[in-house]
Amino acid sequence: MLVRAAAAIPCGEEVLITYCGSAVGAPVGVRRQALQQGWGFRCECSRCLVDQDYEQEPLGQALLAGYQKLVSKLRPGLLAALDTHDRAAVTRHVKQVANLMEELQARLREMPDELDKAVLSGSVLPLCLDMLILTDMQRLVASHVENKLADALADALASKHEQVGKR
């Protein structure tokens, strides 16, 4: 389980889980809809209330547009590229995710209220980061598997060569 905190957690402080599941990084409207459908309540936590304050503002609209782009276009494209081992497409999608993350971070840096900035950073940015981490993990696993396959192939060829030499 991966846990992210928007602020320092004092020793002994209770840490709770989210009911949002995969919608945890979504803008407030998406999270609230998921909670209403899945659990039957409208969330009024501090994060939802702060997000709600910005929902109709240009920043809130930018976060929503970024989320929609990430979920509907970038994530499926990246996962498809990883599945097909298309390195050029993986690189292209990773750059697009990183650019989106940089763009949203720049918008957040313009905010004067530091607490609101920290809360809103919990929306789309973790999803971008998770996608980049997933990509790095996939690459590491693929590289490891390729190395193991290459080692196994080299061992098999060496063994075959020894058998031929003994004849």
Query: pLDDT by residue (tens digit) across 117-126?
Result: 766 766 666 6
Q: If phi over 0 gives left and psi between -120 and 50 gives alpha, with beta otherwise, what is residue 13? A: beta
Lowest mean pLDDT among 17-31, 43-57, 143-157: 143-157
Q: How far apart are CA 25 and CA 126, in angstroms?
A: 6
Q: What's the pLDDT band for 73 if we cut at 50, 70, 90?
A: confident
The most confident of the ranges 8-17, 18-27, 128-137 is 8-17
* The pLDDT of residue 41: 92
CA 14 to each of CA 10, 11, 128: distance values in angstroms, whole numbers, following the listed order: 9, 9, 27
Cα angle 116-118-122, degrees, rounded to a multiple of 5: 110
Assessment of whether the complete model's pTM goes beyond 0.75:
no
Compute the average pLDDT of residues 125-136: 62
Compute the average pLDDT of residues 9-34: 83
Concatenating the DSSP letter of every residue in 17-37 gives: --S-GGGGGS-HHHHHHHHHH
Q: How far apart are CA 83 and CA 85, in angstroms?
A: 6
The most confident of the ranges 4-8, 11-15, 35-39, 111-115 is 35-39
Lowest mean pLDDT among 26-30, 87-91, 113-117: 113-117
CA dihedral sign, ordered 146, 149, 155, 158: negative
Query: pLDDT by residue (tens digit) across 44-69?
Result: 988 888 888 888 888 888 888 888 88
Task: Determine how many CB atoms are found less than 10 A away from the CB of residue 53.
Answer: 15
